[in-house]
Amino acid sequence: DRIIFLQNIWTKQVQPPAPISNISLIKPFVKHVTSAISPDLITLGKPLIGYDWVLPFKPGSKANLMSLNSTILLAYEHNTEIQFDEESQTPHFDYIDALETKENHKVWFIDGRSIIALDDVVIEHDLIGTGIWNISNYNQQLFSITNATYDIIKY
């Protein structure tokens, strides 16, 4: 009955560090798709994950998949500042692990600002709604923003 679009996040795990849900790529894609498919049939997916890469990135390496809550905890544990990339509308941070290897890491994830940016695309293009990937990992920001943005109808 409808199409759910979600940026392909699985391939990101084996690619160099990059934003998880890049709004600068999603906006033109949705604009193009809505020119061919009715917005009444389109749902925009929200990935509730983060990735932790070891730096420097080496071909064949794989980033660790993380819940959003664990990304925040990791930044706190390493006393690192979370940066925000305006173009992609996604947060990221760097840290050095405390193990013997002292490896550098780069973490990209989404947060409330990313969720709002995705919701803005849904509203701007009058899409039927959103879908959530990996809802089993509870995230308070998601539910607070969703409840404040949409009229939720239970059937």
What is the pTM (predicted TM-score) of this model?
0.88
Distance set, CA 37 to CA 30, 43, 58, 102 (Å): 10, 11, 39, 49
pLDDT for 78 beyond 90: yes
pLDDT for 3 beyond 90: no
pLDDT tier at 134 (50, 70, 90 boundaries)? low
Q: Chain-centre distance of CA 11, in angstroms?
A: 14
pLDDT for 33 beyond 90: yes
Distance set, CA 24 to CA 7, 21, 32, 116, 132 (Å): 12, 9, 13, 14, 20
- Beta bridge pairs of residue 104: 55, 96
**Higher-scoring residue by pLDDT: 92, 21:** 92
Please tell me the distance from the alpha carbon of residue 4 to that of residue 146, in angstroms, as a whole number: 17
